[in-house]
Amino acid sequence: MVDNGTLVVTRHAAYVEYLREIGLVSGEVEVREHVGPHDVAGRDVIGILPLYLAALAESVTTVPLNTPQELRSVELSLEQVRLYAGPATTYRVFTQKQFSRALATVAEWAQADGCSAFINWDAAFEKKVTHE
């Protein structure tokens, strides 16, 4: 079985095996060491991404490896990945513009349902950015 939606970003083969072991991926999954905007856009990604790429992805799941200094930049074994892996956490990253649009949509839905509470998030962000 091939998982066409998920992209794993790592240089560690043992990390991918660990992801299979804990059930985050199954079968064959696309794995890349380096990615760009076109690789991650609209996809569920497992791995570490810079924020500008994470904002393009549908979601980003991290399984942090809390490795000691002497093991950084070293190929890890599956046993080492098991030992140093933290819990998986999934994130959704939005730019300020994406977030404001999403909140405006939620506010429209709330108003359609009879809720009158509304916060002008664009103004709130502008005030925070210009006054701090």
Find the domain containing 69 and state its range. Answer: 2-91
pLDDT at position 105, please? 84
**Which letter does DSSP use for residue 51 in this model?**
H
Chain segment 24-41, per-residue pLDDT in tens: 998 889 999 999 999 999
Same domain as 110, residue 57:
no
pLDDT band at residue 101 under the 50/70/90 scheme: confident
pLDDT at position 106, please? 80
> Which token pair is 85?
């892996």
State the Cα angle at 103 between 101 and 58, rounded to 5°: 65
Same domain as 64, residue 22:
yes
Same domain as 100, residue 76:
no
Helix (H, G, I), strand (E, B) or coil at 30: strand
CB 11 within 8 A of CB 76: no
pLDDT band at residue 132 under the 50/70/90 scheme: very low
pLDDT at position 27, please? 83
| Number of structural domains in the chain | 2
Same domain as 57, residue 27:
yes
Same domain as 53, residue 29:
yes
Same domain as 52, residue 27:
yes
Chain segment 51-69, per-residue pLDDT in tens: 999 999 999 999 999 999 9
pLDDT at position 116, please? 58
| Average pLDDT for the chain | 86
Same domain as 102, residue 44:
no
Same domain as 87, residue 115:
no
State the Cα angle at 93 between 92 and 96, rounded to 5°: 135
Nearest residue to 5 via CA among 34, 25, 33: 25
> Which token pair is 119?
């916060």
Helix (H, G, I), strand (E, B) or coil at 90: strand
Same domain as 72, residue 13:
yes
